Chain A
Amino acid sequence: MEKTVRILNEEGLHARPAGIFVKKASEFSSVIEVRSGGVSKNGKSIMALMGLSLEKNAEITLVANGPDAEAALKALSELVEKKFQV
């Protein structure tokens, strides 16, 4: 299953927000992918996410596959929408 969200925080997906995202994603056993501009990256890898170089207003699609996919998508999309405030 998948869900599309928009990056809202000013600095985009820099090290700090990418780190927060990866930590959250790693709590789930599902495979998590982040798709943007035709590329799909491992959502549990900070290197892969920073490599996407996503700026504010970029649209990304979160894809989750596995037993806790629904919970993972909900938690991660909320995280992005709340500008990675935890």
Chain B
Amino acid sequence: MKLLGKSASHGIVVGRARVVLSEALKIEAHLIADVEGEIRDFRAALARAKIRLEAVRDRALKTLGADKAAIFEAHLLILEDPELVDTTEHMIRERSLNALASYSHVSQAAAQLFDAMDNEYMRERAADVRDVADRVLRELAGVGVADLSELQDEVVLVCRDLAPSETAAMNPAKVLGILTDLGGKTSHTAIVARTLEIPAVLGLRHVTELVKTGDWVAFDGETGEVEINPDEPTRARYLQRQEHAKREKLELRALVGQPNLSADGIRAELVANIGSPLDLAGVLNYDAMGVGLYRTEFLFMDRLEAPSEDEQYHAYKTVLEGLAPRPVTIRTLDVGGDKPLAYLEIPKEDNPFLGYRAIRYCLEHPDLFRTQLRAMLRASVHGNLRVMFPMISSLEELLAAKEHLEAVRRDLLSKGISVADEIPVGVMIEVPSAALISDVLAQHCDFLSIGTNDLIQYTLAVDRLNDRVQHLYDPFHPGVLRLIRTTIENTRRFGKKISMCGEMGGSDLHLPLLLGMGLQEFSMAPTSILRLRRQLRGWTLAEAEQLAHEVSVQSSSRAIESVLIRARARKSVQGDLKI
């Protein structure tokens, strides 16, 4: 059987499933006769929970580092919090109510206090309180927590969702992969899986019902494809890809610390796409030379109101400071009707990709736009900031956006707040009209960055999310490549920097072609950096230019794709094996 879930952490996995479901916890209230005995039981449960939690913290210190283990220090303090403990004991005494019901009531009330706060950070703390309370209640009820610390064999964990303390308790050496019913790319489980480099597909909805412990599962953490009890040929294919990926990973690790130079010493910048300060570890681990695209929209999602200037400032500062002096390109808010945020009041549209989105929205909401720009400029003194505007389709839009930026800069300086002296400003080239007037745009900014995902969809008039026309979405289309070439040449003619973000920027098949066209910076998922570094080192500029010429005289996508595949094979540099 085949399932499709949300890609959360890349990698190919074949293994036996271990379905882990916590036993249900039933809270029943009843009156007790022996009050002092009940309080002794409560304290004993707290003591047992403390011992387990300390073990979780110690393991987290080793596997996740001090930063992520800090949350369990807070959990320990919540566990022993006098307000929670005293109020519970008071309730047991005064109402002769059993400890289970008393503690459940008190901890729920405490969690709800946090739920009600008008601050996202504090609201998230409600989950911490519930996580701790669940431990204590299970100790009291004698119902075990799913124990992931004593896995004997290497397994694929299959579960509803994983609580922070569960992921920290598990022994990562025994976990081949993770499949869950709930969660998505930005959930806690996804972040931990990426940190530990355990492949994961989340949000599969019913995987815990469809898979039994001992079943074979095979999955691709990048595409989100999961095969349950695959037939022999499918399993063999996955095993082959898994072996290949393992070997390649070892080979690529050897390139950490090596410069991004072509065979004849031409430098290209290989930088990372990130979505939050949590991705910093990946950027450093995979040796990216900076960030070519920081998508700020994640900061704005899953919440009731826009993040404050201070909250944004902290996020931007963390990234800038963490990577200084490497450059960090922050893209201003890129949202629209396809990913509606209730508080922005963007109506549902028939055609959100051609609608009210990104810079179009921001220019009409100067308060929101300037708040973000202020946060960026305040953070600029902590590192090497570049500002990038998405979805520009005309010079007027660029000039208007720049005016806002300049106004914010002047305002900050007049208030005595420092701003970095030189902040390069750039435009994302996603709309064909912008590519065609890239010579004009280049004269009014410091860099252009080609966003290929949208540029392809707009150039070919193919909705990326429409299954019926997906096969027409084509990164080898000569029309797309001509627009890219035009943009690169126009930008370089005016001595400005030219970059690419989006899938094509991380494609090892496209790298020599783009290098030959004159692209200077490639921005991609951190996990692709080393593969492209290896590809880059195999090519001289003259060879790449020759390849670009060969491609430019082809008239079809298929011809172009096969030229590129042959070129890569000639270099005997293997790309990702496809099934």
Contacts and interface: CB of A to CB of B under 8 A. Distances in A.
Is this pair of chains taken from one and the same complex? yes
A83 interface: no
B78 interface: yes
B117 A45 contact: no
Contact of B125 (A22, A23, A50): A50
Given A14-B121, A53-B119, A47 B84 contact: yes
B74 interface: yes
Contacts of A71: none
A42 interface: yes
Given A16-B70, A53-B117, A45 B122 contact: no
A14 B124 CA distance: 11
A50 B314 CA distance: 19
Interface string B39-83: 000000000000000000000000000000011011001100111
B83 A47 contact: yes
B204 interface: no
B129 interface: yes
A48 B113 CA distance: 10
Contacts of A14: 121
Given A15-B74, A19-B74, A48 B83 contact: yes
A16 B74 contact: yes
Interface in A9-44: 10-11, 14-16, 19, 22-23, 42, 44
B278 interface: no
A58 to B, nearest CB: 13
A67 interface: no
Contact of B78 (A42, A46, A53, A56): A46
Contacts of B70: 15-16
A66 interface: no
B74 A45 contact: no
Contacts of B252: none
Interface residues of A, number: 19
A58 B110 CA distance: 23
B314 A45 contact: no
Given A10-B314, A14-B121, A53-B122, A47 B110 contact: yes
Contacts of B82: 42, 44-45
Interface in B110-146: 110, 113-114, 117, 119, 121-122, 125, 128-129
B334 to A, nearest CB: 27
Contacts of B73: 19
A7 B83 CA distance: 23
Contacts of B314: 10-11
A47 B462 CA distance: 52
Contact of B71 (A10, A15, A23, A45): A15
Contact of B83 (A45, A53, A55): A45
B426 to A, nearest CB: 28
Given A45-B81, A51-B113, 5 more contacts: A42-B83, A46-B77, A47-B81, A50-B122, A53-B122
Interface of B: 70-71, 73-74, 77-78, 81-84, 110, 113-114, 117, 119, 121-122, 125, 128-129, 310, 314
12 contacts: A11-B314, A15-B71, A16-B70, A23-B77, A45-B83, A46-B78, A47-B81, A47-B83, A47-B129, A48-B83, A50-B122, A50-B125
| 10 closest residue pairs by CB, A with B | A46-B77, A45-B83, A15-B74, A47-B81, A45-B81, A19-B74, A19-B77, A45-B82, A47-B83, A48-B83
